Amino acid sequence: MPSIRSLALLGSFGLASAASVLSPRSVDLDACPGYNAKNVKENKNGFVADLTLAGKACDVYGKDLKDLKLEVTYDSNTRIHVKITDPEGKRYEVPESVVPRPTTKATGSAKKSDIVFEYKQSPFSFSVTRRSTGEKLFDTTGNALIFESQYLRLKTNLPENPNIYGLGEHTESLRLNPTNTTRTLWSRDSYGVPQDSNLYGNHPVYYEHRDSGTHAVLMLNSNGMDIKLRNSNTTGAYSLEYNIIGGILDLYFFAGPDPIEVAKQYSEVVGLPAMMPYWGFGFHQCRYGYRDWIDVAEVIANYSMAGIPLETMWTDIDYMYERWVFTLDPERFPVDKVREIVDYLHAHDQHYIVMVDPAIAYQDYPAFNRALESDTLLKEANGTVHKGVVWPGVTAYPDWFHPNIESYWNNEFAEFFNADTGVDIDGVWIDMNEPASFCSYPCSDPEGEAIAQQMPPKRLPVRDPPRSIPGFPSTYSAKKTRSIDVVSGAANKVRARRASVEVDLISPPYSIANDAPYGLSDRTVHTDIVHYGGYIEYDTHNLYGTMMSDATYSAMSARRPGLRPLIITRSTFAGAGKKVGKWLGDNLSTWEQYRWSIPGMLGFASFYQIPMVGSDVCGFGANTTETLCARWTTLGAFNPFFRNHNGDTSISQEFYRWPMVAKAAKNAIDIRYRLLDYIYTALYKQHKTGVPLINPLFFKYPKDKNVYDIEYQFIYGDSILVSPVTAENVTTVDIYLPQGQFYEFTTGKSVKGEGKFVTLTDVDYDTIPLHIIGGSILPLRSESAMTTTELRTKPFNLIIAPDSKGYAKGSLYVDDGESLEQEKTLSVEFVYKNKKLSVKCNGGFSGVKVEKVTLLGASKKRSRDVDENGVLVVEAEKELSGEWTLDF
């Protein structure tokens, strides 16, 4: 077989590519021999067995491995772990350092488990069956297992017209089309988040929902893969097929049986999501293209004058000198002016966040020189630094596997984001961490330099003098400063650790449907680069973003000890939510992408355990319109992460620029802030248990077949149905109301759900339809505020929304809002039954009070104070401590 480098050169010089050299013969994959199981050895929690090739090898994309090892473990009575790998255990697996496996001892057994692993020895096939119903949830019968050096194939039969969700990141329907869908998992910079394309993140888990219950399957493999959902043209049978270009088959099966239980069980493997700071739920403003500190200051002032709450101001790469990470532009963003902005924000209980990219400018300056000295950059085989082209021009990339990377990254954050001498940020935004490059493969040095020269100007002229900015000092004016300081010194030569492998790391014989013209290495770090420890980019590419997230979490924790980091990232892998939140990438200002943002948000918050998620409100690319931005503003207020952000070539879209949008923002933020403790409580619950803070309708109504396809309505927390208008330039919307009791959020009017669609009319552009689900008690702040700090001083108004039997319950969690370890907390349980509200408090914060209690669905016979909508408001000056009751 040709060497790695010779195969790469074949493609580079336009000769026969490696893929064509090793192209598969035309063969029916299900006719391949598969494997036989033998030497089965049972143990208390499962068994192990040998798998041996059952006949003449197909060698469809290389050489079939003759011998494999099977391990089946009943981790618990709701989870089965199945591994198929080589007998010596030498094949690549997702490192424990990136995705730690559960540490609890296996406790399940085949006799007691809710799901059962069954197999046929010759040829080997297996199924996972739900014990209570006998249904096969995963069944490989009739589908040959193929296991080659660079191609793994595993196929399961599915029921008719299955309800499959997950397998992100993608711009697609919440429920995947089961007849002809391919989900490709390979991180890439995907501007415009196109449909039917691989995007930034990779979450190889799917949820399948049936009338009898829900289960999920995680394929813990970080290699590139195509997952194909098909409906056979000949038999009509449905199937799901994994096609993976490396690693092992490492499967976790989750029994459920309901969607929320599945989400909880998934969190037990990938980890529970991080608890975010309270202020992180405030409204955030950003733009790529703020030309200088004057722009930033004006935006802050304009929000204040418009009376629209602004919690956090963000700055994109504009603040950097020549877009070099860990620098400030000395003329457009001089350190004294940036510090004045940060001081102003902090004095007004507001916050500041900037972007940090992984790619480091290949220039003689401190951050790059220290990276060379610490030996933490990715290297070529000859020991030179691997180069790409990103915003600064020619760049180098950190090696997140290197043992020195934590000290290097921590030091850069400590040096540049120093509270006394640098930029005192409150959170961090990491981007381009797929990792992205603008250079097409193979990206030679001359080509890279040429691309860098053709890039748009990195620095716009300084405006002098600035306009007057209300609220900022009169001395806040532009001035010329010297050029950026750089540190001279030659780069240290380093040797890369490389693995000797007889495979094609550039053009593997099976070509996944990566949406890039020149293969896996196109516009990213090349897949034959070897990280410290022998990890190959080919295997670990999909982990790069999550590893940067972990390193950044460590760096922020080191510079702000004891405080929860707020980190928002673009590229994610399974388990990323343990440290960071996620925004849905560089979308476009279109009605279609406004709609797609809803299933995108639901996927991360509900399926993947990354609850701090949201889209760029009003869109990033292209130009928004007043009506689109108004609708998106009201929708964005019900994303856990709520940020307005757009691109440098688009028109400005801050909320105050249009009367309709400004009114929409005020209305939506007013509701969001009054509900902030409600959703913060939901986040705490997900942080502790995995129960999602945002839910698709089928999570709440798993027996209602009408909701399986619904993707534009969702449940905020567990008690508020959100039904945005999703069509352009209309004021009506058809919404589905499941059977049960509902109440209009704004009026409190009782609405009976009959399991049907109803049409809402006169939905103004500055409003969004909201319904409280009967059986709920919501703790709302009595009024909104301009900042979350001020909001926390407001008393509560408890909204009681009884179900048809007159029962309701709810909860509230309060802490200091920012500490990793809490000295004291307050947990409250509310129950309403028999016309009595019971309140039980554990822990306590002095001064947390209830000002009034509002009962919905009240009868006029009860009190003359009940209004025409059945709303009764009772004044109740009560502190949330101990236990107390209130009769109605």
Q: Which residues are catalytic?
A: 431, 434, 586
Edge-to-edge order in the sheet of strand 750-753: 694-695, 714-716, 720-722, 770-773, 740-744, 750-753
> How far apart, in Å, are the Cα atoms of 880 and each of 137, 277, 674, 776, 795?
47, 22, 17, 18, 10
Residues 536 and 530: beta-carbon distance below 8 Å: yes
Q: How many CB atoms lie within 10 A of CB 502?
A: 10
Residue with the two structure tokens 């009959």: 754
Q: How many CB atoms lie within 10 A of CB 197?
A: 17
As separate numbers, helices (DSSP H) first and strands (DSSP E) second, the chain gives 16, 44
Output the six-digit token pair for 226: 């195509």
Kindly report whether the peptide bond that precedes residue 466 is cis, defined as omega within 30 degrees of 0: no
Q: Where are the beta strands (DSSP E) in 124-244?
A: 125-130, 136-139, 146-148, 151-158, 163-168, 180-185, 203-210, 213-219, 225-231, 238-244
Comparing C-alpha atoms, which of 197, 869, 84, 853 is closest to residue 585? 197
CA distance 661 to 655: 6
Output the six-digit token pair for 371: 């990276």
Residue with the two structure tokens 């279109």: 590
Residues 73 and 46: beta-carbon distance below 8 Å: yes
Helix H or strand E encompassing 19: helix 18-21
Residues 38 and 49: beta-carbon distance below 8 Å: yes
CA distance 590 to 627: 11
Q: Measured in Å, how far apart are the chain's first and last C-alpha atoms?
A: 82
CA distance 85 to 75: 19
Q: In terms of DSSP bridges, do strands 67-76 and 79-85 run parallel, antiparallel, or are they unpaired?
A: antiparallel
Residues 270 and 563: beta-carbon distance below 8 Å: no
Report the DSSP beta bridge partners of residue 701.
none
Q: List phi, psi (to 5°) of 812.
A: -150, 135
Residues 591 and 618: beta-carbon distance below 8 Å: no
Output the six-digit token pair for 470: 């209300």
Q: How many CB atoms lie within 10 A of CB 530?
A: 25
CA distance 844 to 814: 8
Comparing C-alpha atoms, which of 330, 339, 287, 279 is closest to residue 309? 279
Residue with the two structure tokens 């567990």: 718
Residues 45 and 106: beta-carbon distance below 8 Å: yes
CA distance 782 to 560: 32
Residue with the two structure tokens 């693995």: 499
Kindly report whether the peptide bond that precedes residue 435 is cis, defined as omega within 30 degrees of 0: yes
Alpha helices in 675-706 (DSSP H): 676-689, 697-700
CA distance 355 to 859: 54
Output the six-digit token pair for 211: 């009338």
CA distance 366 to 486: 6
Q: Give the DSSP letter of residue 817.
A: S
Residues 736 and 710: beta-carbon distance below 8 Å: yes
SS3 of 592, please?
helix
